[in-house]
Structure 1
Amino acid sequence: MADHRNTPEHQNEKKLILASFVLTVVTIVAFGIFILPGRGVGYTPSQPIPFSHALHAGQRKIQCLYCHSNVDKSAHANVPSTAVCMNCHRVVKVDSPWIQKLTESYDNNVPIQWINVHVLPDYVYFNHQRHIQRGVACETCHGNVTAMEKVEQVSPLSMGWCVNCHRQPENQAPVNCTTCHR
């Protein structure tokens, strides 16, 4: 009986199976890196302390820059420290268990581990200051936060989405690679 394992047809079949396997693994890894982390439209992580932007920014009309204080002066947006929260919550709703947790964090100088909602890949550089100075409203990328009980990502924040905005004639924004990729 002849051994068919060493025939050219069998060798080609083995190569095809191996190539299919490698392609499948690469696809799964790429899918896991770019799709599965939960950082897309609709991403709404549970936070360690519930925070309603609808109440604070909406009903109370607290401006974005009050809590996110250096976004107009820095490339990066900051998540407010508990000290900012305590400016009001030293006297407001002090009986709430959530505010007590906030106060404990402040008193012990242990920051709350907020979960970022809008996360870009490490290879992308985004300058908040430049966008604010050009008159881009926070809502352009972050949506109507004043109506959100829980902040969610409403824009894809993908390269295509950003480039579409940059290409609008009225924006006169650069579209060269090094603007965002560093």
Structure 2
Amino acid sequence: MSIQPPNTTLIIGGARSGKSSFAESLCEQSVSNLIYIATSPRFDDDAEMVDRIEQHRARRGPRWHAIEEQIALTDIIQRHDAPDNAILIDCMTLWLNNLLYRKLPLDQQFAALVAALKGTTAKIVLISNEVGQGVVPSTSEGRHFRDHQGRLNQTLASCCDRVIEVKAGLPLQLKPINQPPIKL
């Protein structure tokens, strides 16, 4: 019996845990077309953020096709739905921030994303931050965001074929349990 490779993978972990590098290497194991979806807003007056973006681009190299999209992830997934495509979405935490900032209905956005993930033939890797293991935020806005992030992570984990937590650059497969080594 052969094991079907996963179509959807959620990678979670703390800030600067190595999630992005791990996700990129996971995608690059395949011979697929590599598509990188950046959900971060671009602030050209933020020199440190511009530098981070350039470091990420240089690390990925020319094999990757980058698309900047803050909201319409379902459209991108549907537009690039092909079995030879690997789509890396970095990151779901910033996507959630963008939804909240624009006051978009989270339940509808989450449901549409889940439907797109379940309906795609492309290999999808989603990166999300685990924000619930630290200090309880001191503001109601911070607690509100943390609660929504936890709900988003749970929603994604339940619909993805595989969930991997990255800590200190080391991957730990959470779902499915007792499976062969990690490959895309």
TM-score relative to the length of structure 2:
0.25
TM-score relative to the length of structure 1:
0.25
Higher relative contact order (CA 8 A, sep 6+): 2
Which structure shows the higher helix fraction?
A: 1
| Structure exhibiting the larger radius of gyration computed from Cα positions | 1
